[in-house]
Amino acid sequence: MLYSGTISNETEVVTAIIVGISLLMALVIITLLTVFVKRKNKLVSEQERAKATFEKELAETEVEIREATLRNISWELHDNIGQLLALAKIQAQTVKEHPERIDEVVEIIGTSLNELRALSKLINPEAIKSLTLGQAIQLEVDRFNRMNFINASLVEKGETLTIGPKVEIILFRILQEFFSNTIKHSKAETLTIIVDYNNGLHISAKDNGIGFSKDIEASGIGLSNMQNRAKLIGASLKIDSVLEQGTCLEMSIPTHKIKTHE
pTM exceeds cut of 0.75: no
Predicted confidence at residue 110, as pLDDT, reads 77
Long-range contacts of 232-238 (CB under 8 A, 24+ apart): 232/53, 232/54, 232/57, 232/170, 233/166, 233/167, 233/170, 233/171, 233/257, 233/260, 233/261, 234/260, 235/171, 237/174
The pLDDT tens digits of the residues spanning 197-216 come to 998 999 999 999 998 876 65
Q: Which residues, at least 6 apart from 46, have a Cβ–Cβ distance to it below 8 Å?
A: none
Residue 232 pLDDT > 80: yes
Model confidence pLDDT, tens digit, residues 58-75: 777 777 777 677 666 666
Confidence bin at 2 (pLDDT 50/70/90): very low
Residue 158 has pLDDT above 80, yes or no: yes
With both helix axes pointing from N to C terminus, report the angle between 2-75 and 102-123 in degrees, rounded to the nearest 10. Answer: 160
Give the H/E segment covering residue 242: strand 236-242
Domain architecture of the chain: domains with CATH: 132-262 (3.30.565.10)
- For CA atoms 53, 54, 60, 64, give the dihedral sign: positive
Q: Work out the percent of the chain whose per-residue pLDDT is above 90.
A: 23
Q: Answer positive or negative: Cα dihedral of 143, 147, 149, 152.
A: positive
Parallel, antiparallel, or unpaired for β 236-242 and 246-253?
A: antiparallel
Per-residue pLDDT for 190 more than 80? yes
Please enumerate in sequence order all residues whose Cβ is within 8 A of that of 143, keeping only pairs 6 or more positions apart, or say none.
Answer: 72, 76, 118, 122, 149
Helices (H) and strands (E) in the chain, counts: 8, 5
The reported pLDDT for the residue numbered 251 is 96
